[in-house]
């Protein structure tokens, strides 16, 4: 897989500008008192589609060629990435098919469909979602939009840290949730370039 740099994150930020929210950064005195530090929260829960996932999904779709967009995209997710890809597809006029597990939260399935994506269910106990997605790509010619292991996805997610470091340039540490690692990869890349002390152990 190709690596990403701060220039990729800045390019993603330029693509996303005006298409997603620049989410607020807040503080809370009670939290600061408990941990004896000043803590800044980047409120990605207020992002479009309810999570940071739209950043990577939309950057990926905006990075595709016109021909690739005409072919449509495939994503797989139990919720947040599904909604992010579905909304990104709607914003770019692209057809989207999302593989979701049969036990995905009903609200997330409804939201994914509400953004215009087709949902195909799979059984997470007996089926491999990545294998199903690759098969669908092979049969339909659609472009895969993975949830994390893609340079355009990671660069898009890194725009959250880029914004945070613009708003709070003197950060001493950056903490992110960790699932597949796309958010951490993008955010740590931004921090290493803009505030190296954040990436030191």
Q: Is residue 1 part of a domain?
A: no
Q: Which long-range contacts (CB under 8 A, 24 or more apart) does 176-184 make?
A: 179/147, 179/148, 180/147, 180/148, 180/149, 181/148, 181/149, 182/56, 182/147, 182/148, 182/149, 182/150, 182/153, 182/154, 182/157, 183/52, 183/148, 183/157
Q: Is residue 123 located within the same domain as residue 78?
A: yes
Q: Is residue 164 located within the same domain as residue 111?
A: no
Domain boundary among 120, 144, 168: 144
Percent of the chain predicted with pLDDT > 70: 98
Q: Is residue 58 located within the same domain as residue 139?
A: yes
Tally of domains in the chain: 2
Region label for 49, one of left (φ > 0), alpha (ψ between -120 and 50) or beta (otherwise): left
Tokens 């939201």 identify what position?
111
Domain that holds residue 123: 54-144
Domain boundary among 115, 144, 173: 144
User: Per the confidence metrics, is the pTM higher than 0.75?
Assistant: yes
CATH number assigned to the domain comprising residue 116: 3.40.50.1100
Q: Is residue 123 located within the same domain as residue 64?
A: yes
For 32-81, the pLDDT digits (tens) are 999 999 999 999 999 999 999 999 999 999 999 999 999 999 999 988 99
Q: Is residue 195 part of a domain?
A: yes
Q: Is residue 134 located within the same domain as residue 72?
A: yes
Domain boundary among 144, 170, 186: 144
Cβ atoms of 150 and 133 within 8 Å: the answer is no
Q: Is residue 58 located within the same domain as residue 125?
A: yes
Burial class of residue 91 in the structure, from the number of CB atoms within 10 Å of its CB (0-12 exposed, 13-18 middle, 19+ buried): middle
Q: Is residue 108 located within the same domain as residue 125?
A: yes
Q: Is residue 174 located within the same domain as residue 116?
A: no
3-state secondary structure of 182: helix
Hey, what are 104's tokens? 């995905």
For 118-167, the pLDDT digits (tens) are 999 999 999 999 999 999 999 999 999 999 999 999 999 999 999 999 99
Q: Is residue 47 located within the same domain as residue 58?
A: no
For 72-105, the pLDDT digits (tens) are 999 999 889 999 999 999 999 999 999 999 999 9
What count of other Cβ atoms lies within 10 Å of the Cβ of residue 136?
17
Q: Is residue 60 located within the same domain as residue 137?
A: yes
pLDDT band at 187 (very low <50, low <70, confident <90, very high): very high
């Amino acid at each position: 897989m190709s690596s990403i740099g701060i220039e990729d994150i800045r390019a993603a930020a330029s693509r996303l500008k005006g298409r997603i929210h620049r989410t607020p950064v807040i503080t809370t005195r009670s939290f600061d008192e408990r941990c004896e530090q000043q803590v800044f929260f980047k409120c990605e829960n207020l992002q479009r589609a309810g999570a940071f996932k739209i950043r990577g999904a939309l950057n990926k779709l905006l990075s595709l060629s016109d021909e690739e967009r005409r072919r449509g995209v495939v994503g797989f997710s139990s919720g947040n990435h599904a909604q992010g890809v579905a909304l990104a597809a709607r914003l770019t006029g692209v057809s989207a098919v999302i593989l979701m597990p049969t036990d995905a939260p009903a609200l997330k399935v409804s939201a994914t469909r509400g953004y215009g994506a087709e949902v195909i269910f799979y059984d997470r106990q007996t089926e491999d979602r990545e294998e199903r997605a690759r098969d669908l790509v092979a049969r339909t010619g659609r472009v895969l939009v993975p949830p994390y292991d893609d340079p355009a996805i990671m660069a898009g997610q890194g725009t959250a840290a880029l914004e945070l470091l613009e708003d709070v340039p003197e950060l001493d540490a950056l903490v992110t949730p960790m699932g597949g690692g796309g958010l951490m990869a993008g955010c740590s890349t931004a921090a290493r370039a803009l505030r190296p002390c954040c990436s030191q152990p």
